[in-house]
Amino acid sequence: MARVLVFQHVPYEPLGLLDPKIRALKHRIRYVNFGREPKAQVNLDNYDALVVLGGPMNIGQESVYPHLTQEQVYIRQAAEKGIPILGICLGAQLIASSFGAAVYPAASAEIGWQPIKLTEQALEDPVFSGLRELSRVFQWHGYTFDLPANAVRLAENDHCLNQGFKIGENIYGLQFHLEANLALIQRWLRLPQHQSEMANMGQSGAKLYAEQVWKDTLYHYDFARHAADRAFSAFLSLLPQVSRVVQLKHR
């Protein structure tokens, strides 16, 4: 049983597909919700993995969300301790920034199912090789980032070059939402705060755009779910096999 620390930023962006994978292995999950506890403190010595989830805030908004600065401190500490780290969307941007890369607005947002291409390095990677047959992934982001100097690019597309990367042997960043299940996607499409973002994606308006994304979801989701299962299983295999035995005293 390992202990997984999860940095969450908003309640509507949880672990998604990753949650049952972690629980099936009998690992323990601790959420730290910085939206509710912006000054939360953690001791990384108590954990065996770190997952940093997405959120609507961005690098550069530290004056409004000061926890973004503290999260990067924790990410660097986790890296120094050799703790496996997985960052998704904002989480990937936080990892990139933690290692000195610039994070900035993309030319335009990516929302919905967008093309993705794995690099040659990804095909040899234990985690990303599980995505080798995946041609589209679910996206919801308006920022992008440069590749950290010590990182290896694993996924890309024509819109945002750095869609996935790896640092060392156990730090992964995913710009896309591999964790998104059907319930999460449906919820995101209905959130009031997301309507203006979808309205800016074309001439059809938010309602029609959401309807098209949902149609695309029903077409692509099963394939993406199986790919996510392979990739997340491979990442979780990086966690230590922790056995905690309690010895009872003889009476």
Taking each helix axis from N to C end, the angle separating 90-98 and 67-80, rounded to the nearest 10 degrees, works out to 70
Q: Are strands 164-167 and 151-156 parallel, antiparallel or unpaired?
A: antiparallel
Give the whole-angstrom CA distance, residue 22 versus residue 9. Answer: 19
Of the residues 9, 67, 141, 177, only one is catalytic, namely 177
* Residue 219 parent element (H or E): helix 206-236
Give the whole-angstrom CA distance, residue 240 versus residue 1. Answer: 8
177 an active-site residue? yes
Of the residues 71, 156, 179, 197, only one is catalytic, namely 179
Of the residues 89, 141, 194, 197, only one is catalytic, namely 89
Largest CA distance in the chain: 76
Give the whole-angstrom CA distance, residue 227 versus residue 133. Answer: 8
179 an active-site residue? yes
List residues with catalytic annotation. Answer: 89, 177, 179
